[in-house]
Each structure stands twice: as C-alpha cells, then as structure tokens.
Homo-oligomer: A and B are copies of this chain.
Amino acid sequence: MSKGTVVLAYSGGLDTSCILVWLKEEGYDVITFLANIGQEEDFDAAKKKAESLGAKKVFIEDLRAEFVEEFIWPSVQASAIYEDRYLLGTSVARPCIARRQIQIARQEGAQYVSHGATGKGNDQIRFELTCYALYPEVKIIAPWRIPEFYNRFVGRKDLMEYAKKHGIPVPVTPKAPWSMDANLMHISYESGILENPKSHAPADLYLMTKSPEDAPNSPDVLEIEFKKGVPIKVTHIKEGKSKDTPLDIFSYLNEIGGRHGVGRIDIVENRFIGMKSRGIYETPGGTILYHAHLDIETFTLDREVRRIKQGLGVKFAEMLYNGFWYSPECEFVRHCIDKSQESVDGKVQLSVFKGQVYILGRESPKSLYNEELVRSLHSPLTPHQQ
C-alpha cells in the first residue's frame, strides 16, 4: 500500500531521477513537476524519462510569463539587489516554482512535496518557506537531509551505480567542473573549480552572454518605456523593432544584453546560513532593466519618497534572498514599494555596448524635473555645483 503521494521537483538530471526511484522504493506514489522558467532543457525528453521511471503523473509547466510579471517585475520596481551586486536571479525564481508545485500538490491531493536541494544551501530554505506559507499542512521530504539517503549516496559514483541498477539513464557528457542554475533571468555558476575565491573564472564559462571582448564594435540603442515602475515597451531605436508583452520585453533585453556581454559579475556573497560563497552570475536583461529603472525612478520620484523606498528595497532584497517572498513582511513591503511606483512613468534611452549600459536621456509625463527652474539656476554666470 502506498504511503501517499509526493510531488517531486524534478529536473530530469541524475540526482532527481535517483530520488524519483528511491521515493518509489520507499513506498510513495510520485508525481513529477518540472517548471519551464526559461532554462535550456529538453522538456520532452525529461517527460519521457520521468514516465519511464514510474512517475504516476508528469507535469511540465511553462511559467515564464508569470515568472516575469509576478516575480521579476516587482524586483525591478524594488531595485532589488543583494549586497549591492547580486540581482537575485535564482532567488526570485524559487517562489514562482514552489507556488506551482504546491498548487499541483493541492490539486492532486498530495500530502508530500520533495526536492533535491542539499541540506546546507539557500535553496532548501527558500523552497520550504514557500511551501509552508502556501500549504501549511504539507510534509516535505528532503532526501539530502535524510540519513538513509545521504549515507547511501556519499559520492557521485554511488548515484551512478544506483542509476545503472535501476535503469536510470546516466549522463554521457562529463559533468562540468562547477555547478550552475539557469533561468530566464540569469545563469549562476559556483562550486568546483570556482570555489577558490582567488582563481579566475574560465573564459568559456558563460552561456548567456558573449564576452565583451568579442561583442559587436557598435552599440545597440534602446528606448524602454515604464509605467508604474514596470517596463511596458522596449524599442530598438535604429531598427524600429519593439516588444510590448512582459515576456517578450524581458527576452529581448536578454538577447541584446547577451550579445553585448552585459551583466557579468564575480562575487563572494553571504549566504542565509552565515557562510560566504563565491558565485559568478550573468544577468543580461535584468542588468539593463536595473539601470533603466533606476534612472526613470530618480527622475520621477520625490527625493524623500525615494529615500524611504530605497530602505524598503534593501529589506526586500534580503527577504527575497533568504526565501521569505511569501511572508507577511515581504507582502507588506511589496505593497509599499508598489505604492511608491505610482508615478514612475516615462521613457529611458540607453546604449548597450561591450558589457556596459549607458543611460543617454529620459523623459516623463510625470517628471518632477523643472527645466525652467534649472535654467534659471544655471544662468551663464553660474559656477558649477554638485
């Protein structure tokens, strides 16, 4: 008799395939769930694989549009940036994925959810905080925290052997000497040869962005239009091309930013559990938006409102990083930030070139900028002052 139904966050990779089989061995019915949040993935192959390994049901869900609108956009409004540098590409995807997993668990009457995150990282915390917030009675099976599991699989070799024994297809290409996490917003790289904070990252690491050295020798100039702090249209000035749905806008900014090598950072950050960790990120579209939003916001917001909002944005970034999207305080702060953006309307022109975003100009129907006043202050006689 079944112990119950588990909805497993399934990636199609070796780890979660072994977990799928192991959960079945343990007596659970397993439903797999794989979210499409913009990562490169053969979703059909993953579906077939899960089915062949005995998943009772297989969900492959395209969450890209809601990821952009409901998660990335509020982060853009907040100018969310962790420790002054990291644009939170992995963090912001977690509540989006977990929310859908929980919806499936409820709809399928599953009492359990499971994930392949380790017992020491940020991810498990983010995932589980979301689950408990949205489905307080749910039980979480985290194999990498269960002794029976982690004592059995102490190295990759153990997983490989288990896979062979249970007919789980094993990867044919060798594993990269680092790990990565990819979605529409960014790719992150860490661990392996990147662990030594002193060693430089290999030049061929990056998948989303071209090297600035190989980027085109002339810029692309864009105009981004904002309404209430959120982009509603992007136009390529020369080509006249434009995009106006959230997913299209963000994808297009990724394309332009990627072509010019925008948004690469190499940082050491402080994890939730209090450890420092080195990570390399590429966030092309997100970086362009961060700069463009900052510009239109400063242009249209009252100074003091912006100052208070800035403090709330710092708090929001910490909550987001630590996995508290679905907490009373984060909902409160999102509400306040959204309120602050009521007048953040206008257009920013910018140039993207060789890894950098240059703001060129801005205009707004709601600007507090008073050109006439400025002119009177800058009479020909006026010496300079900032």
Contacts and interface: CB of A to CB of B under 8 A. Distances in A.
Interface in A83-121: 83-86, 89-91, 116-118, 120-121
Of the listed residues A195, A302, A327, A386, the one surrounded by the most CB atoms of chain B closer than 10 A to its CB is: A386
A205 interface: no
B270 A155 contact: no
Contacts of A336: 332, 335-336, 339
Contacts of A201: 360
A67 interface: no
A371 interface: yes
Contact of A329 (B213, B305, B353): B305
A386 B304 contact: no
Contact of A361 (B197, B212, B213, B354): B197
B385 A181 contact: yes
A166 interface: no
Instruction: Provide the main secondary structure of the chain A interface.
Output: mixed
B339 A332 contact: yes
Nearest to A377: B120
A386 B277 contact: yes
A329 to B, nearest CB: 4
A183 to B, nearest CB: 11
Contacts of A83: 298, 306
Interface in A257-285: 264-271, 274-279, 281
Interface in A52-96: 79, 83-86, 89-91
A200 interface: yes
A295 to B, nearest CB: 7
Interface in A26-61: none
A22 interface: no
Interface residues of A, number: 115
Contacts of A305: 328-329, 332
A196 B277 contact: no
A153 B356 CA distance: 44
A180 interface: yes
B123 A374 contact: no
A170 B118 CA distance: 47
B278 A298 contact: no
A294 interface: yes
21 contacts: A15-B381, A84-B310, A85-B294, A90-B386, A118-B383, A123-B384, A155-B381, A181-B386, A192-B378, A195-B375, A197-B369, A200-B349, A269-B298, A276-B367, A302-B327, A302-B329, A304-B328, A308-B312, A332-B336, A354-B356, A355-B358
Given A195-B378, A198-B362, A354-B355, 9 more contacts: A84-B294, A89-B386, A118-B385, A195-B374, A196-B371, A268-B298, A275-B377, A302-B328, A311-B311
Interface of A: 11, 13, 15, 79, 83-86, 89-91, 116-118, 120-124, 144, 153, 155-156, 159, 175, 179-181, 188, 190-192, 195-201, 212-213, 217-219, 264-271, 274-279, 281, 294-295, 298-299, 302-312, 314-315, 318, 327-329, 332-333, 335-336, 339-340, 349, 353-356, 358-363, 367-371, 373-375, 377-386
Which 7 A/B pairs are nearest by Cβ-Cβ distance? A191-B378, A121-B385, A304-B329, A270-B303, A123-B385, A354-B354, A302-B328
